[in-house]
Amino acid sequence: MAEQHTLEPDDHAPTTGWVGASVLRKEDARHLDGKGMFVADVIIPRTREIAFVRSNMAHATLIGVTKPEGHAHQVFTAADLGEIDHLTAGPEIAAFRNTVYPPLAEGRVRFAGQTVAMCVAGSRAEAEDLADQVGVDLDPLAVVIDAVDAMKPGAAKVYDSWQDGAFMTSAVKGGDVKAARGKAKFSVRRQFKMARQTCNSLEGRGVLAYYDRRLDELVVYMSTQGPHVMRMALAQCLKIPEHKLRVIAPDVGGGFGGKNRLTPEEIAVVALARQVDYPVRWIEDRREHILASAHAREHWYDITLHADAEGTFLGLEGEVYVDAGAYSLWPVGAFAEASMAARNLPGPYRIQDLEIRNFTVATNKAPLGPYRGVARPGACFVIERMVDELAHEMGIDPMDLRQRNIVTAAELPYTTVGEMVLDTGDYPASLRGAIELINSDAVRARQKQGEPDGRRIGLGFAFYTEQSGHGTAEWTRRKSRVVPGYESCVTRMMPDGTVLLLVGIQSHGQGMETTLAQIAAHELGLKPAQVQVRHGDTGISPFGFGTFASRSIVMAGGAVAKSSRQLADKLRAIGAKLLQCAPEDTTLADGQVMSGSGGVSFAEIGRAAHVRSELLPEDVDPVLEEFATYEPSVSGGAFSYATHAAVVAVDPDTGSVELLDYAVCEDCGTMINPLIVDGQVMGGVTQGIGTALFEEIPYDEQGQPLATTLAEYLLPCASELPRIRVKHLVTPSTFTEYGVKGVGEGGAIAPPGAIVNAISDAFKETGAFFNTTPCTPRRIVAALDAARDAHSSHEVGA
């Protein structure tokens, strides 16, 4: 592996070995200096600000909207927005029930917070004042707030014409679960719930749109994970030719999945910009974010794990319900959530007999979207809790049980019953690595000794695999409306020999301005500082799908490598002519084409190609620009993986949890930048801790959300976090450039499993069962009380 650089400070930085170097992030300089530019920072003269009028009821007929007197021209309803083609959102599966999600409500509202009208004024405060004066006449309808109840006969319906409450019902099946059930010595059945959350990126959604008269095009600044795909969708629903629509994502302050869906507010703002002669902007505030951005998770499971007398897993069966809210967001809604949870339930274990029925259910809540980990945090939570529950029942160590059932290195590649091909790695080594890193023996000794303050110590583990960088075959298999098969890059050398990368991918916190520059620098013999990465502007960069599904390093990294190598070949051809040698006798380093002791600088080559074409070889055209698309040869995905270990101290009286230690032993193949990988893992773990212990949007019986500010929706802050320690195993993928695998989501997948297993471990002898995230103090005390009650009624009975 390449030598490690920690900084790239000056002219003395090397020009080789950038793949694998812990370079500080280039983009952080502007962010730390407060010089970033987000949608809210964009200054376009005469911009007016928007506030939305939202439904305060969860389900109602919309009878009418009354505009305040004298301000009618500043208030817009669905009827004022002009023609809009409603997009079909959801998979291309006949059984999926499509819904129309109008940007402003038409005739019916289906969740509290749905957009009804928009108000425009000189400032946001004035627009909000106006919004307060708009009258919304609603006639309430029966409300559905529970996904399991929604599927019962006679339940109220979100859509009158549907025969039941589900967008879609399906099943993931394989092998013979009935036979497994018959052979089982142990059949452990449990129910679990993972709460509704939202992504809570630092920057909420934001959109600014105006008509550029000179270019005769609509310009849209948008905080998005994928500007090209958003342009496609906006062009389609607003009937604007794509060459007349430019979508620019400036700095994007995180997305975590939520900004990978086109939402009604964004469509409404752009639709309005079509018809007014001033720029309009909407910036989502925190309350709107928690109320009405893409929500996430809210899974319910009823699962039985069958095992023989030695604890060998035989089969898995049960049901998964996903509460998908009231509508589907373009392109695919939340359809993947339930089936993906079902496909991922067996985890890394040898389970070939499986039957999981899954339901994607409509309720009167904000629509569901993807959130870091998509479905897998739920699946991992459930299977990893089940492993511990079975181990407790058998009276053995859960890590022994994992070792007995986990796929070994020799068994890879291994095709799961969910038809995913786990490619390379050493899963048992990761389990062992986590045991060592967390210092399991010392934790057990402390646990045995007891705490002076009466708190209980618990140690928990969870393992996951993360499908990353999957392409055409996998998305086609899922019947996805958009098949993100590849990424693209233009590598362009400027006349002075520096390099510009134009990429279709969209970095929104992942540090790709650094890692992609590292790859080009590595291939071309430059320093990352000599490479500029441009993304996020459909007017400049080639088409790309954007950043999600931990795909960027595999896809965009591959495209950068490929186009940079193509350019390297051209540089060698020109350099060879200038050096009067054969191209095969040249190498690239230190910003030069070298041959023997001679060298010609990229600046000289740049000059020759741009303004002195008489110096070029006859068969080489003067364009120092190479374009490439890239998709790995295997498109089912490269699987990274990790074991997470958590140590908790829990107060048995108050249920308060302190995370004493957290360790991750992960493998994402070759790392382009280990420092960034560490950051990705730690950020993900922090969000996973939020899922495990804090974050939740509960709803009351009328469908009113009970958490709409950060006072009620709790996020983990620095004081709640332990030092997160990360150990890397490196098993390169065999089918990606440099052997990389994605890592962006993994950190968020395992914490609920590891932490709740740790809480369960702390109270193992009580028989208390912890089955819900967030595992709040109240829920912990309730589980302990329930176990005590069960125990005493047992004693009475006995």
Site string for ligand MCN, 186-215 (x = CB under 6 A): ---------------x--------------
DSSP 694: I
Q: Assess 553 for contact with ligand MCN (CB under 6 A).
A: yes
Q: Assess 745 for contact with ligand MCN (CB under 6 A).
A: yes
Per-residue b/e over 480-498, b at no fewer than 16 CB within 10 Å?
Answer: bbebbbbbbbbbbbbeebb
Q: If you search the block for the tokens 């960027």, which residue do you land on?
A: 552
With contacts defined by CB under 6 A, name the span among 127-135, 156-164, 510-518, 562-570 that binds ligand MCN. 510-518
Q: Assess 508 for contact with ligand MCN (CB under 6 A).
A: yes
Q: Which of 226, 254, 398, 688 binds ligand MCN (CB under 6 A)?
A: 254
The residue among 177, 376, 149, 369 whose CA lies nearest residue 266 is 369
Q: Which of 174, 497, 511, 599 binds ligand MCN (CB under 6 A)?
A: 511
Q: Assess 295 for contact with ligand MCN (CB under 6 A).
A: no
DSSP 690: I
- Contact between 600 and 592 under an 8 Å Cβ cutoff? The reply is yes
How near is the Cβ of 728 to ligand MCN at its closest, in Å?
Answer: 10
Q: Assess 459 for contact with ligand MCN (CB under 6 A).
A: no
Nearer to ligand MCN, 465 or 552 (CB): 552
Single-letter residue type at 733: S
d(CA 746, CA 460): 17
d(CA 342, CA 355): 9
Nearer to ligand MCN, 497 or 544 (CB): 544
Q: Which of 256, 300, 475, 641 binds ligand MCN (CB under 6 A)?
A: 256
Maximum pairwise Cα distance, the chain = 100
Q: Which of 13, 574, 671, 692 binds ligand MCN (CB under 6 A)?
A: 671
Please give the radius of gyration of the chain, using alpha carbons only, rounded to the nearest integer.
Answer: 28
Q: Which of 204, 509, 591, 753 binds ligand MCN (CB under 6 A)?
A: 509
Nearer to ligand MCN, 224 or 447 (CB): 224
Q: Which of 91, 250, 257, 688 binds ligand MCN (CB under 6 A)?
A: 257
Q: Assess 741 for contact with ligand MCN (CB under 6 A).
A: yes
CB atoms within 10 A of CB 613: 11
Q: Assess 664 for contact with ligand MCN (CB under 6 A).
A: no
Nearer to ligand MCN, 343 or 577 (CB): 343
Nearer to ligand MCN, 458 or 744 (CB): 744
With contacts defined by CB under 6 A, name the span among 140-148, 251-259, 421-429, 558-566 that binds ligand MCN. 251-259
The residue among 135, 131, 113 whose CA lies nearest residue 123 is 131
Nearer to ligand MCN, 53 or 334 (CB): 334
- Contact between 713 and 698 under an 8 Å Cβ cutoff? The reply is no
Nearer to ligand MCN, 62 or 561 (CB): 561
Sequence-separated (6 or more) residues with CB below 8 Å from residue 449: none
CB atoms within 10 A of CB 147: 24
Angle at 702 between CA 698 and CA 705, to 5 degrees: 30
Nearer to ligand MCN, 480 or 704 (CB): 480
Measured in degrees and rounded to the nearest 5, phi and psi for residue 718 equal -55, -40
Q: Is the peptide bond before 398 cis (omega within 30 degrees of 0)?
A: no
- Contact between 46 and 279 under an 8 Å Cβ cutoff? The reply is yes
How near is the Cβ of 516 to ligand MCN at its closest, in Å?
Answer: 7
Distances (CA, A) of 266 to 100, 115, 233: 16, 11, 11
Q: Which of 230, 493, 549, 560 binds ligand MCN (CB under 6 A)?
A: 549
How near is the Cβ of 737 to ligand MCN at its closest, in Å?
Answer: 10
Interhelix angle 398-405/376-394, nearest 10 degrees: 110
Q: Assess 422 for contact with ligand MCN (CB under 6 A).
A: no
Q: How many CA atoms lie within 13 Å of 452's alpha carbon, on the beta-carbon side? A: 0
Q: Assess 545 for contact with ligand MCN (CB under 6 A).
A: no
Interface residues for ligand MCN in 120-159 (CB under 6 A)? none
Q: Which of 352, 465, 563, 673 binds ligand MCN (CB under 6 A)?
A: 673
**Binders of ligand MCN: how many residues, by CB under 6 A?**
35
Q: Which of 247, 740, 754, 768 binds ligand MCN (CB under 6 A)?
A: 740
Q: Which of 198, 465, 515, 563 binds ligand MCN (CB under 6 A)?
A: 515
Angle at 688 between CA 473 and CA 667, to 5 degrees: 55
d(CA 223, CA 330): 16
Q: Would you state the torsion angle of the CA atoms of residues 229, 232, 238, 243, taken in this order, to the nearest 10 degrees?
A: 130
With contacts defined by CB under 6 A, name the span among 149-157, 214-222, 545-553, 612-620 that binds ligand MCN. 545-553
Single-letter residue type at 538: T
Interface residues for ligand MCN in 316-375 (CB under 6 A)? 372
Contact set with ligand MCN (CB under 6 A): 201, 254-257, 372, 508-512, 515, 547-553, 668-673, 676-677, 680, 683, 740-745
